[in-house]
Every structure is written in structure tokens, then in C-alpha cells.
Homo-oligomer: A and B are copies of this chain.
Amino acid sequence: MAAAEFWYEFASTYSYPAAMRVASLAESRGVALVWRPFLLGPILADYGWRDSPFNIYPAKGRYMWRDMERICGALELPLRRPEPFPQNSLLAARVALALGDGTRADFSRRVYAAEFGEGRPIADRSAIASLLAELGLDPDAVLSRAEDAANKAALKAETARAASLGIVGAPCLLTEDGEVFWGNDRLEQGLDWAASAGLRTLAGNA
């Protein structure tokens, strides 16, 4: 089966519609998806950016928010800007990584819906705990796993891997043959590539 990795950042606006769309787009192409949360902050810090580029460059920010309105409008997704923007995404990313593959996608979509659909803060423990409880998970147990040293180190390693893969923004799709497709608007292209890469592998094995 063809496979692809979905790399996403909880502070990233465009990761919100992407997270809501990507599972069904992958399924319709027969592509198995791995959800890989990471932190974009350290990568942007290497560019000298200590804040969202959408705040540093206000014209880009105005463009992005209008673009998000159009995108979410077409998808019939609610859109509300959280304050402050961007939200600190460290805890959400640690929790997502600590969850198994089965619940990671559900938790991630729930975080995005709260953050950008309802404009709720997602940075602190109580916010994350209540989202975990809504999903029927045990907040204390999950938060304890999320904040143990091994999981913290694992998230750092994921972020370093993202940088080494050439991931320069979020969201990105990574195919099995190492292609990176950046942007919510490139999910279809990346998944089409992933599906045909899977076919090329099958042909090579035959």
C-alpha cells in the first residue's frame, strides 16, 4: 500500500483545513497516512523569525487571514482567530506525539477545531485536558506520558527530522520517495504523487 506522512504544526493556520481534509483525501487514493506533529518554531528561528511570519509581515498576515476565510468558507469550516495568535503549540504537539496512531488524528482535529474553529486557546494544560476528556481519554495519564523526558526528546527529534527533510513550513506531505509538498493547497498533488510512488514500488517488486 502506498503511504505518506502528514507533517503538521498546531500553531499553523493552514494546517487546520489540511488536518480536516487529509484523511479522506488519502483514503480515496488508497494512501496510508502517518500523522507527524512537529514544531515549526525552531525551523523559523533559524530564519531569524521569533514570531509568526504572518505577524512579522503584516501584509502577508492580512492576505493569509482573508485566504483562510475563503478556504474555510468553501469547506464550510468555521474560522475564528485565537488570541493571542499564534498559540503556543508545545504541549499540544507533545500530547499528539504521545498518543498512539489510533487517537492522534482524532485529538489533532479536535485541537484545530477548538483553536481555529472556536478561537479557543490551546496552550495550557487545562485546555488540553478538557479536549482529551471530550475524546474519552484520561487527561492525567496522557499528560503524564506527554511530559515525560522520553516523549519530550522524541518531539525534539521529530522537529530536527522535519528540518533535515527540507520541511520549511506547515503543513507538509512527505512521500515514500522523499518528496515534500508544502501547503494545504498541495495535499491533492502530494497524495497523487504518493499513490503513484506506491504503484512504482509495486511494479519494481513484480
Contact = CB atoms under 8 A, between A and B. Distances in A.
Contact of A63 (B57, B62, B180): B180
A185 interface: yes
Interface of A: 43, 47, 57, 59-60, 62-63, 66-67, 70, 163, 166, 168, 179-180, 182-183, 185-186, 193
Given A70-B179, A179-B70, A59 B185 contact: no
A194 to B, nearest CB: 13
Given A63-B168, A63-B182, 9 more contacts: A43-B59, A59-B163, A59-B166, A59-B168, A60-B168, A62-B166, A63-B166, A63-B180, A70-B179
A22 to B, nearest CB: 17
Contacts of A185: 183, 185-186
Contacts of A66: 166, 179-180
A63 B193 CA distance: 16
A171 B62 CA distance: 17
A180 B43 CA distance: 28
A182 B66 CA distance: 12
18 contacts: A43-B59, A47-B57, A57-B168, A59-B163, A59-B166, A59-B168, A62-B166, A63-B168, A63-B180, A63-B182, A66-B166, A66-B179, A66-B180, A70-B179, A70-B193, A183-B185, A185-B185, A185-B186
A56 to B, nearest CB: 8
A43 B185 CA distance: 24
Interface centre among A62, A168, A193 (most CB of B within 10 A): A168
A62 B66 CA distance: 28
A180 to B, nearest CB: 7
The 3 A-B residue pairs with the shortest CB-CB distance in the complex, in nearest-first order: A60-B168, A59-B168, A63-B168
A69 to B, nearest CB: 10
